[in-house]
Each structure stands twice: as structure tokens, then as C-alpha cells.
Structure 1
Amino acid sequence: MKILIIQQKMIGDVLTSSILFEALRAQYPQAVLHYLIYRHTLPVVENNPFIDKFIIYEEDYKKPTHLLPFLKEIRGEKYDVVIDVYSKLGTALISAVSGAPITISYKKWYTRFSYTHPLPRKSKATTNAGLAIEHRLDLLKPLLKKFPAEVKPKIYLTDSEIKNAKNTLINSEISPEKPLIMISVLGSSADKTYPAEYLAQLLDQIVTETNANLLFNYIPSQREAAEHTFQLCNPETQLNIHLGIFGKSLREFMALTSQCDALIGNEGGAVNMAKAMDIPTFAIFSPVVSREDWSLFENETGNSSVHLRDHSPHLFESLSKKELKERSAEYYQLFRPNLIKDQLSGFLRAIKSGRD
């Protein structure tokens, strides 16, 4: 059996969808399993032992002159099954053109005719895995006779990557006697980034309660924004922030995070990567993101999250995602640190207890 899984989306989605390969491999050990993704998301699934081949969807494929040869390549693979996790018009076309006798995706009015098995989504999670995990596993219902009790996303770092991360911390004289916490200081966009002045107050709280060393997750182009948050912190907090230590690539970031006691900050790909390495996380959700979908594996490995909806559910009544996005800045201003500090304190106590 030859199976293609399509996930042309962001890092967290690509990592989460990788659970399908482990589940399929358990029941179809001889199957050939391919993963169609964007190039920039490849690092989170590199070295995954359950994936036989990565097919990279390049930006040029959006042009008809490049798309047609790509579609011909897909058809030439002669897949038995195509599972379209992304479920958009473009991937519906890939699924239809593939010629696979079994095509599976989510049921949508504008794409359902492209699939032999268009499956409905459910509205509520039935386990603490979260809807994002459960929805993906549901796509395997036409194929699996028995479902795994639990499948979690995993990141596969090399020994060399882990060794280099450890050496970076040693050479920077980061004390192993103190907790080390990675801070997801920025979200993937402005409407997914907790206000810097509020985050700085939470960083002050973290250092006051734990005396932890803090690393910031950012890329060089975000240095100015990271420094802005740093400047908003108390001088005592600044002494514990090591701005010069950061992952210069996604793999370096993951390796550094693997050496941390926790990751705290904006919900997004960094949180999902930390969870995939069993690093406890405390996630601050954007008002525009569904906590029901992405609060994965909470209350099991120390993972916790907060959402403005917890405190002011009336603000979200009858609002579309578009309307929420338009109000994200306004809603973030309402999500003051005093609404988060108690839950954060509980999380920090658990981190300290885990080190004792």
C-alpha cells in the first residue's frame, strides 16, 4: 500500500499531522508513506522514522506552468490512498488528480466531491488530546481496524544536535542549578502576540518566583521586538535573560528547548514543538485561536494554558473568526497579567517541584 498525506500549512499543523504516520505504520508496517509539505516546515519532521519520503510543495507550484508538471509527478506515484489534512481547494485538486482509489478529507461543501471519504468534523474533544489530534485521527477511520490508545507528535533530534545545545549552554555559563525556561516571546503574527508590556510583567513574575534563567525564542529579524520586551522588564529580570542565546535555525531552537525545564509564552508552533519533546508548556492563547482545538495534552505532562474566554466568555458570543481577528488588539488589552498570574504561579511551582 502506498499512501500520501497532505498538510500544506504551518509548522504546528505539520508536526501535529505527523501522528498519522505512526498510527498507519503500526497497522501497515510494509506501507510506503509519503508526506507533502512546504519546505520551511520540514525541520519539525526531519528524522521521523515512520515517514519514507517528503514531497516538497514549492511556492512556484502556485503558477500553472509549474503546477502541471507537479500534478503529473503526483499521479505518476500511483498512490493507493491520499489523506488530505489541509482540505482546501488546491489540495482537493491534488487529491482528485492523484488517481488514488481512496481519497480522504474533511467534509466541506466546496471540496467534498473530490474525495471518496469526506468525513465530518466533531465540535467537542472527547479526550485531553484535543480536537486538533482527534480530528486528524478521525481521518484514519476508513483505513484502521484498531485505533492506538494514544499517539503524540514527536520530534526526533540527533545526538549531535543535543550535544551542541548542551555545549552552547555550558559555554555561555548558564547555571544548571537554576531552572531554564524558554520564552515564546512572539506569536506568528501581531494578532497572535501577547502585548509586550504584559508579557514583561509575567517575566518579572517568573524570575521573582523561580530565579530562572530565560531564553527568548526569536529569529534575527525579530531581534528589535525581542529587545523591546527585554527593555520593559525589571532590571533584576534582565539579568536572568540571555538574549544572545537563541536558535539560529528551527532545529537549533528545538535542541535548546529540549534542555529547558519549560516553555512559556505565546501559543503556537513553539508550544507544539516543546510538547513533542515532553517539555512542560504554559501557553497564552490569542483571542482569535480556538483553545478547544489546540490545548493538546493538558493536565498530563504539566501542560497548561490560558485564554481570555476563561474570564470573559460573553465577549466571544456570536462573533465570527473574522470579527475576533479585527478585535484582537482590543481583546488582548483586556487580557491583563492579573488574570494569568495565579495560574502561572501554579505552573511554576510544579516546575520547581519537578527539579527537587
Structure 2
Amino acid sequence: MKILVIQQKMIGDVLTSSILFEALRKKYPEAELHYLIQPHTRPVVENNPYINKLVIYDPALNKNPVNFLFFGKQIRKEGYTHVIDIYSKISTGMISLFTGASCRLGYHKKYTSYFYTKTFTPVKEPATSAGLAIEDRMQFLQGLQKDFPKHSRPKIYLDNLQKKKAAVNLQAGGVSFEKPLIMCGVLGSSKNKSYPSSYMAALLDKMVAQVENCQILFNYSPCQEKEALAIYNHCTPVTRSRIFLELYARELQDFIANCATCDLFIGNEGGAANIAKALKIPSFSIHSPSVKKNYWGIYEDGDRNVSVHLKDFQKEALKGLSTKEITKNAAGFYELLEPNLIFAKLNPFLQKVILKKSEEKYL
């Protein structure tokens, strides 16, 4: 048995879809398991002991038919028996077909169903606390065998040397591990998934006022540096003195290592929040109004993993609106999600996590 799992695009998606490998390895210990991903997402699945091989797909192939066909011929030579295409777009559907695998699983869509031998529709209501993003992916395994578990937790297998190196670099930059260290995802993957700059700054000001001697690291994409600086400049002088802008990790693997040294994560829901959870770092996430909380609210427990959504405070605000309509007016809906509302839930989370850290220190 030789299985190819396909998941392109976003970091959070690639990390979340990696849960399939642990379940597959436990069920089929002798199987060869490959993961087709894009190069920028590689750090979140490196060192995963359940994956035999990472197949790196250059997205530029989508724009070059000749090179795409050549890739298809190379993939066919692998002799895959099964393909699980989580992405299920035209390009990955064609790759699934190129493999020649007798079992090809994908999402049911009018324009791609032809590529698969069996299709699945997205789960609408969660059956567990794992969240729809988890259950949606795990259902694909039912196409192989019926007794697979319904959920599994994403994990990042960080090399200890990477974490030690990150700790040394942070200490050299002035960070003290005797004080709370907070990773803040100040921006989401797009403007429509980013809490407004002035609101984020106000939230950080409130946090600094409540958490004595806290230290803050920023996370954002390198192309968002201007927006991140705007958030920094919106903060009070006291808050700015707690933010280590110069310790920003430009590379994903460095962010992962830095995050692993932190006491908690707060910020926009997305890849960074998913990484924190996979590292077992307590997380507090702010969902975009256009995203369903029960989809990406992975393993929410009201304790170590907490999140907020506009619907938590104003249930009627989004009623009857499509995702497209909400996204179009994302800025207006974000305005309704005022910092005071969020901090009412964030403060108890902060106190609990920091208090627990303090108690563990003196045990």
C-alpha cells in the first residue's frame, strides 16, 4: 500500500491535514505514506515520524502546462495505490488522476468529482470537541476502512536543538524567561482576517496593564511589516517597551521555535494559532467574522484553548448573510467586535495561564 495525501496552500491547512498520517500509520504500519505540499509549508510537517516522504509542489507549475504534465508523469511513476486529495481543486484533481491510483478520494464538487473514485461532502455539525476542520479531514479515512477514529490532534515535531537555539537568541535579545512571554499574531493571512490595527493595539495595552512584566513577540507575514509597525505605533509607550520588534522571526521554522518557548499565544485565528496549539501552547484566538467558529475552533476547551467570534457577543449581527456578504463588509463587522468585549474573555484566560505558570515555577 502506497498512499499520497495532497494538501496545498495555507500553513494551517497543511498542519491540520497532517493528522491523517498518524491514523494511517497505526492502521497500516507497513504502508508508505507521502505528503504533497507547497514549499513554504514544509516546516510544520518536518520531522513528522509518520510521513515517509514530502513531495514538494511548486505552485508555478499551475501556470506552465508543459512542466505540469511532466510533474504528472513523474508522480505516476511512484505507483500510488491510494490518493487522498484534501485540497480537491482542478490542479490537484488532475494530479490525483495522473497517479493512476485505483482509490482516489476527494471532496464532492461539480467541477472536480470526475477525478475521484469516491467523494465526500463537508461535515456540517461537529460530533466531537475537535472541530469541523478536524472531523472534515478524518472522514476521508472512512473511504479506506470504517473503524478509523473521528478525530486526532495536530502535532509539530520540533527538534530540541531548534528550541534551545531559539531560547539562546531570545535571551541575547533581552528576553527573560523569568517573566511571561507572549506570542501575538497581530495580523491574519489577509485584511479580511485581521483584527483592526487600532483595536489590536488597544487589546495589547489592556493586556500589558494586567500582566505584570509581560514580554511580547509579534508574528506576521514578512509582506505585512508596514501593517505590523502601524499596530506597534498605535500602542502606548509602556506597551511598546514590552514589544521585542527586533526579535521578529522572518522564517517559519524560526517562528515555530520561538513560539515553542512562549507561555501563551494570542491573536488572529490562522496558521500561527494552529501552530501554537500543535506545540501545546495555551492559545486565545480572534476569529474573522467571515469564518465559522465551529470549523477552525480546534479542540476548544474554554481553558487552554479559547477563541472569540462576533457571534459570541452579537448573535443577530450576521444572521441571514452569506460568507461572501460578510467578507465584503469585514471591516464593518470587525468594528462591532470592540476590544472591551474581547478583553472580558481574554483577561480570565491570561490570569489563569500566568497564575498556573507561577504555581508550577515554585512546585
2:13 matched to 1:13? yes
Cα distance in structure 2, aligned partners of 1:231 and 1:278? 31
Aligned position for 2:123: 122
2:91 matched to 1:90? yes
Aligned position for 1:26: 26
**Equivalent residues in 2 for 1:223-302 (5 A)?**
223-299=225-301, 302=304
Aligned position for 1:315: 317
**How far does the alpha carbon of each residue in 1:248-281 deviate from its partner, in whole angstroms, 9 at most, with x for none?**
3101101000010101011110000000000011
Alpha-carbon deviation of 1:187?
A: 0.9
Aligned position for 2:192: 191
**How far does the alpha carbon of each residue in 1:189-246 deviate from its partner, in whole angstroms, 9 at most, with x for none?**
1111101110111101111111211111134443332221111112221121111112
**How far does the alpha carbon of each residue in 1:272-317 deviate from its partner, in whole angstroms, 9 at most, with x for none?**
0000000011001111112111000111761100111222222222
Aligned position for 2:224: 222
Indicate conservation of the 8 Å contact 1:60/1:66, yes or no.
Answer: no
2:202 matched to 1:201? yes
Aligned position for 1:341: 343
Alpha-carbon deviation of 1:82?
A: 0.4
Alpha-carbon deviation of 1:148?
A: 3.8
Aligned residues, how many?
Answer: 356
Cα distance in structure 2, aligned partners of 1:65 and 1:354? 57
Cα distance in structure 1, aligned partners of 2:73 and 2:109? 25
Aligned position for 1:109: 110
Cα distance in structure 2, aligned partners of 1:189 and 1:208? 29
Q: Which amino acid aligns with 1:181?
A: I
Indicate conservation of the 8 Å contact 2:188/2:220, yes or no.
Answer: no
Note the aligned Cα RMSD (angstroms). 1.5
Indicate conservation of the 8 Å contact 1:219/1:247, yes or no.
Answer: no
Cα distance in structure 1, aligned partners of 2:150 and 2:86? 21
Aligned position for 2:134: 133
**How far does the alpha carbon of each residue in 1:67-114 deviate from its partner, in whole angstroms, 9 at most, with x for none?**
111111121111110001011122122212221111111222322232
Is the deviation greater in 6-15 or in 105-114?
105-114
Indicate conservation of the 8 Å contact 1:302/1:350, yes or no.
Answer: no
Query: Unpaired segments of 5 or more residues in structure 1?
Result: none
Structure 1 runs of 4+ with >4 Å offset: none
Give TM-score scaled by structure 1 length.
0.96
Alpha-carbon deviation of 1:145?
A: 4.7
Alpha-carbon deviation of 1:22?
A: 0.7
Query: Unpaired segments of 5 or more residues in structure 2?
Result: none
Percent identity, aligned pairs only?
47
**Equivalent residues in 2 for 1:45-84 (5 A)?**
45-62=45-62, 63-84=64-85
Alpha-carbon deviation of 1:147?
A: 2.4
Alpha-carbon deviation of 1:149?
A: 7.1
Indicate conservation of the 8 Å contact 2:138/2:150, yes or no.
Answer: no
Alpha-carbon deviation of 1:40?
A: 1.0
Q: Which amino acid aligns with 1:280?
A: P
Cα distance in structure 1, aligned partners of 2:303 and 2:30? 33
Is the deviation greater in 143-152 or in 345-354?
143-152
SS of the residue aligned with 1:343? helix
Change (3 A) 1:143 1:350: same
SS of the residue aligned with 1:96? helix
Aligned position for 2:43: 43
